[in-house]
Structure 1
Amino acid sequence: MEPTAHSQQEASTPSSVETAEHLALKLHTAVRTRNSENVQELLEKGADVNSKADFGWTPLQSAVQANNLEMVQLLLDKGACPRARKDNGGTAFTEAAMVGNVDILKLLLHYGLDIDDHDNNGFTAFMEAAWYGKEEALKFLYSRGAAVNLRREVSEEKVKLHKGGETALMDACKKGHFSVVQILVQEMGADVNLCDNSDRNALIHALKEDHEKEKESSVSISIGHFLLDQGMDVNSKDEGGRTALILAVELRSLDLVKALLEKGEIDIDDADEEGNTALMVAVEKNDHKIAKFLCEKGARTDVGNLIAVANRKRAPDMACLLQQYKAQVVQETLEAWEPDSKRWRDQLKNLYKMYRPMIGKLKVFQYIQQRIQSTSQGGIYLGLHGGTEVAVKIIQRTEGDKERTFLERCRGCEHLLKLFQAEKARGCMYLCFPLWEKNLEEHLQESEDQMDYRDALGMIFKAVRELHSLGYAYQDLHPSNFLIDLGGKIYLADLDNKRRLIEGEKELVNSDVEIDQDVLKVMKNPEKGKPFTYKNRIIDLLRLIRNLDEHPNERISKKIGDYAEYFLTTFPELTIYVHKSLRQNPKYCHLADIQDPSL
């Protein structure tokens, strides 16, 4: 019998008994129990195909989680939204990567989804496939253009807490999926030395103890050996300051400990934030073989009261071993000490208390909690050099030698940041500067009343002038690059290498050809005035700039935009060259000598 219009209306409109909420609940249950007929019937009764259950789950996402391709197709045909998000931002697409169903991934991609879309925690489908060890899904997503080295994007608040930044490779290492790690590196070109927002690389994620890992320590060790063969940086640390060497000792892998030390790049006496070295960890775990090997390789036995730990562990053989390598019972007391710095007080006191292997006279901990500034070359860390509070820039030795040469030239300058001391170790240069409390940008944000702006501007002018006198121009005059010491004195710092040599007049003039030819044509034939020919010389370049400023032209504005920005970009050396030329000209040098900042 054909259904009447009335019966059709009843089928599509929820009754007073079966409310929309009841129908939605039944629909979710039917999807999760894989009951296709019931799903079809409920949808015909008017159940909302995009209704949400607890935590924002939709029927489509539940069907994907159940790995049910037919159900997924049915719901999509009935109008299910493939872009719907759970409360955590996850979609059916990321869920499909978790279950590893390539057919569902293909189906969903037909709806124009962004393959690198991510949830609120920054997870993409590619990352989920790596996390859950779904090789075929991983390969499929890669073939469709998924970004292999994408780092996990998180909110600003989480970035401040050093969360996020992980890659798919780190995820595979963390979860112990060795074959996925190999595929990512060998077939997809994953960068083994990327770090997350806590400065941890893939090796640290592979070796770090995690009770939620579904893997044996032997897999972690195998991944560790594989990564070392790929040229992995061994000096990364976990959030507790533990090196790969310390983590290898915690895994009780003598082979991995040997492999790490064979690299010749790791400090055997490096310690975590609690002052524990690899040898201390080996003694704590009563691992005689590793402790013996570390002692043979020269690990220090005069820190950490090792014999007391061995005695507490009822390990007489360990105590005998340590005594053979000159270990003694240590009664260590530290004098009370208060740093001069108020801003960095707590971090400096922690550094003072902890054990750190000395680098010459420098005590420093290259660890995120001790970092006070990031640079393109690495970071600036707190340090104590012979007891003096310093800021330490750590860079490769080859670059460090060049930097040190420049800094030596700054010694006679009153307003340029000066080098205090420098140390070298293991291919790195440790450049130590007098510690600053804040930069000018931070000071201006905190207070508008406590600084004499006239004096501050005067110091800035003097700092720039000193840099020019050394033959350099500065490309990043930003308040954050002016540092303020404890006494309120301002210094210009080039911690990120933004300086450049000032070019001579010949090179400056020859770059004249870079001016847009349409601009020259218009300016040579002004609408009101006689034609004028600009020669390839500085004075005519300045005349051109002046004329553009005094006689604005709409055609030129549309072509090059803001005149000042255009010429600063085209001739970055011009301002400094003119300033230098004026200073060297006896007749006009007074024009370049700015005594009063208000001028």
Structure 2
Amino acid sequence: MEPTAHSQQEASTPSSTETAEDLAFKLNAAVRDSNKEDVLRLLEEGADVNSKAESGWTPLQSAVQANDEDLVQLLLDKGACPHTRKDNGGTAFTEAAIAGNVNILKLLLDRGLNINDHDDNGFTAFMEAAWYGNEEALKFLFSKGANVNLRRAVSEEKANLHKGGVTALMDACREGYFSVVKTLVQEMGADVNIRDNKDRNALIHALKKGCAKEKYESAVSIAHFLLDCGVDVKSKDECGKTALILAVEMRSPDLVKTLLEKGEIDIDDADEEGNTALMVAVEKNDCDIAKLLCEKGARTDVGNLIAVANRNRAHNMARLLHQHNARFVPETLKDWEPNSKRWRDQLKKLYAIYRPMIGKLKTFQYIKQRIHNTSQGGIYLGLHGGTEVAVRISRSTEGDKEKRFFEQCGSCECLLKLFQFEKAKGYMYLCFPLWEKNLEEHLQEPEDQMYYKDALKMIFQAVRELHSLGFAHQDLHPSNFFIDLGGKIYLADFDNKRKLIEDKKELVNSDLEALRRLVLYVLTGGRKPLQQVSTEDLAADSPDYHEALDLVSSLVSHDERGLEGLSKHPYFWSKQTRFRFLKSIWNKIKDLQNRKTVFQAPNPTKSFPYPRWTKKIDKDVLNIMENPRKGVPFKYSNDVTDLLRLIRNLDEHPDTRITAKIEDHAEYFLKLFPALTIYVYNRLRQNPNYSHFADIQDPSP
């Protein structure tokens, strides 16, 4: 029996029990099937045009993926939101770039989308177009302002794992789209030498997939093009493989020859396993490439080349190697343990692998051996004559300037010193004593905290020493202070931001203001970023609280004492030194009227902080002091001079009853009157007749 028109209508009408989720599922299915009639019907029946299916896909995103322009327009007209994101952060706009549909891209862009918006993995529409080789979409996006050199933005967690940082050019190189690569570079100005977070440039990305048969031809073409464009041939992949090693792995003699003719590449450079280009050629039994390398002077005395050739039954290869003086020389390494704890594993790896020596220096310029980043390049681990070092690599001209500066630091205790240097092939290798961590890293490890006062003493000394050499640092960030195994702190300027002072007081003042922030950062244990920390973050119950407040205030006010004077500030005094200072003042200022004049604050806001000190002190202690066993009774007033008199008399006329009551005198009084030391110190310092009494030459206990 044929169904009636009425029964057909009933079949197409949704049940009253259908949920919004059911409707959303049907709507997305209809969109994916490009069924416009069902889409319209479901929308009329109440389906949410912005509902999400599995993985957060909206109907609009599904329509874009299906490359259906009419359906995209329909959904937008029905209120579809183009800004809605999938679970991975992708939008309809990035999907349109994947599809390569310029009309849809324009349609969406007209709805106010940010052309450089990216998903959770950092992909912009421009990057997606490059990844999928959609050249017309790429040109359209570029014409509308897409950033051609934008690096893939990722979370801090992923960046710490060296993920992200890839550009659209790298994507096109990796996927083998030669035409897209040429367009990006020649028409859009893509930078061929940007590096991703694994330190790889476009050339490395082009060669990484070149071993695959279907990508070989395009990889070779792209590599030749990039080489003609001046790409840096010294970049390495995440395993330390150079472009030359990757070209050998691809088995491209033409590309190997071109790289060697560049004259910039180190033919004997090795990857993290110690394999050179020649070793790879021998392993792959590629005689043509091995011959090229040998004729260009590749070393044949490293690695078991003959043994590998024999194992491969490669008699022609063995014969070639013998012709170039290859010999079987077994290498035995003695067991070695580095001094460094932080860099132990990397140093042992460096010690064990083959690396071409640079004078007495063995180093490996690649990401897993890098220990510090600077605007001038990375700092790498090294072994100089067997000594563990940190290595700065720069062009010879810049390196000579840096060498002269660091040599000036040789007589300074808290400035990083030059240990040794090497020169080779137009580069300078500056070697420094190896540090364990920088100050910023150290403060993030609460189980290994240093004594803050000692740390700040060294920091002050370092800045003072740099100023004495005639330089202002201009970048006093905790990451520029390095700490060795013994806990000694050194200041460095690897970013070359220092400036000659030359009577420019504003440069010194700028350093003092930066030092104030650094002091607060250290005293608060690095809990907040440097630029966010303030005096409000200081612990008010700290025994050094009032001294610390005064110290940071003195730094920001460009105090006339300068760093030399502030290095003797009461903050740096020990507890016993502070107490000895308080005990000595009464005797040093002989006349009673002078005492009152000195300690009477002209500014009411800076008045004596304990105007009722006799009520704070232990009653028994005060009674014993006012009624000495062998002396004239004396009534102490709440004046500061009387408090200093009591502290002095306590020392000169000791009483066992008081000692039994309060035990450590210094501990008791400094805890009871924590702001007293800095108050007395500042009142003395501000009086021309008595300021010399505040100058404690040796604040150490």
> Does TM, normalized by the shorter one, top 0.5?
yes
CA distance in 2, matches of 1:588, 1:465: 26
1:58 is aligned with what amino acid? Answer: T
- Matches of 1:201 and 1:592 in 2, distance apart? 60
**CA 598–181 in structure 1, closer or farther in 2 if over 3 Å, else same:** farther
TM-superposed CA distance for 1:482, in Å, is: 2.1
Distance apart, 1:107 and its partner CA: 0.7
1:50 positional shift: 1.6
- Quickly say closer, same or farther: Cα 1:508–1:240, change in 2 above 3 A: closer
Distance 1:281 1:425 in 2: 25
Q: Is 200-209 or 28-37 further displaced after alignment?
A: 28-37
Distance in 1, Cα, partners of 2:438 & 2:153: 28
**Secondary structure in 2 matching 1:236:** coil
| More deviation, 147-156/475-484 | 475-484
Shift of residue 23 of structure 1?
A: 2.4
Q: CA deviation at 1:182?
A: 0.4
Partner residue in 2 for 1:74: 74
Q: Can you give the 5+ residue segments of structure 2 that lack an aligned partner in the other structure?
A: 1-9, 508-551, 568-688
- Distance across 2 between alignment mates of 1:297 and 1:112: 58
- Aligned amino acid, residue 394 of structure 1: I
**Any idea what SS the aligned residue of 2:410 has?**
coil
1:525 counterpart residue number: none
| 1:60 maps to 2:60 | yes
Change (3 A) 1:129 1:48: same
1:411-461 per-position Cα deviation (integer Å, ceiling 9, x unaligned): 122221110111112222111001111223332332387533333332222
Match of 1:187 in 2: 187
TM-score for both structures, normalised by structure 2: 0.71
What secondary structure, in the 3-state scheme, does the structure 2 residue paired with 1:414 have?
Answer: coil
- Runs (4 or more) in structure 1 with deviation over 4 Å come to 10-14, 574-583, 587-599
Aligned to 1:343: 342
Aligned residue number for residue 502 of structure 1: 501
What residue number does 1:4 align with? none
Corresponding residue for 2:606? none
Q: Which moved more, 1:173-182 or 1:256-265?
A: 256-265
| Secondary structure of 2:346 counterpart | helix
How far apart, in 2, do the equivalents of 1:581 and 1:451 lie? 24
Does residue 1:133 correspond to 2:140, yes or no?
Answer: no
User: Match of 1:411, SS?
Assistant: helix
Alpha-carbon distance in structure 1 between the residues aligned to 2:503 and 2:451: 37
Superposed displacement of residue 463, structure 1? 2.0
Aligned to 2:440: 441
1:582 & 1:449 partners in 2: Cα distance? 28
CA distance in 1, matches of 2:693, 2:243: 60
CA RMSD of aligned residues (A): 3.1
Give the aligned residue type for 1:75: L
Provide the C-alpha distance between the structure 1 equivalents of 2:114 and 2:140, rounded to a whole number of angstroms. 14
Say if 2:459 is the partner of 1:460: yes
1:315 aligns to 2:314 (yes or no): yes
The worse-fitting range, judged by mean Cα deviation, of 180-189 and 19-28 is: 19-28
Q: Secondary structure at the match of 2:411?
A: coil
**What is the deviation of 1:59?**
1.3
**1:10-33 CA-partner distances (Å, limit 9, x unpaired):** 999953353333322222222112
Change (3 A) 1:598 1:271: same
**Normalised TM-score (structure 1):** 0.82
Give the distance between the partners of 1:482 and 1:331, measured in 2 at CA. Answer: 43
Output the CA distance in 1 between the equivalents of 2:291 and 2:375: 40
The amino acid across from 1:470 in the alignment is L
| Cα-to-partner distance string for 1:442-496 (whole Å, 9 max, x where unaligned) | 3233238753333333222222222222111221223332222222222222222
1:458/1:596 contact within 8 Å kept: no
SS at match of 2:147: coil
Partner of 1:551: none
**Counterpart for residue 372 of structure 2:** 373
Provide the secondary structure at the position in 2 that maps to 1:404.
helix
Partner of 2:284: 285
Indicate how the Cα distance of structure 1 residues 266 and 591 shifts in structure 2: closer, same or farther if over 3 A, else same. farther
* Cα separation, partners in 2 of 1:580 and 1:499, compared to 1, 3 Å: farther
Cα distance, 1:58 vs structure 2? 1.2
- CA distance 1:59–1:242, change in 2 (3 Å): same
Instruction: Determine if contact 2:50/2:81 at 8 Å carries over to the other structure.
Output: yes
Q: CA deviation at 1:181?
A: 0.4
TM-fit CA distance, 1:108: 0.7
SS of the residue corresponding to residue 383 of structure 2 reads strand
- Give the structure with higher Rg (CA): 2
Q: 1-side partners of 2:305 and 2:320: how far apart?
A: 11
**Which residue pairs with 2:167 in the alignment?**
167
Alignment partners' CA distance in 1, 2:213 and 2:296:
34
The CA distance in 1 between the partners of 2:489 and 2:369, in whole Å, is: 23
Which residue number corresponds to residue 198 of structure 1?
198
Instruction: Report what 1:389 is aligned to.
Output: 388
1:123/1:423 CA distance change after superposition, 3 Å: same
Shift of 1:67: 0.8
Partner Cα distance (1:593, 1:424) in 2: 49
Match of 1:228 in 2: 227
Identity of paired residues, percent? Answer: 75
CA, structure 1 residues 292+484, in 2 after alignment: closer, same or farther (shift >3 Å)?
same
> What is aligned with 1:5?
none
Query: Could you tell me how far apart the structure 1 residues matched to 2:485 and 2:271 are?
Result: 30
Structure-2 change in CA distance of 1:198 and 1:467 (3 Å): same
CA apart distance, 1:73: 0.7
Whole-angstrom distance in 1 between the partners of 2:354 and 2:448: 42
Which one is further off, 133-142 or 46-55?
A: 46-55
Deviations 1:351-374 (A, max 9, x none): 111111111111111111111110
- Structure 2 CA distance for aligned equivalents of residues 91 and 334 of structure 1: 56
- How do residues 228-307 of structure 1 correspond to structure 2 at under 5 angstroms? 228-307=227-306
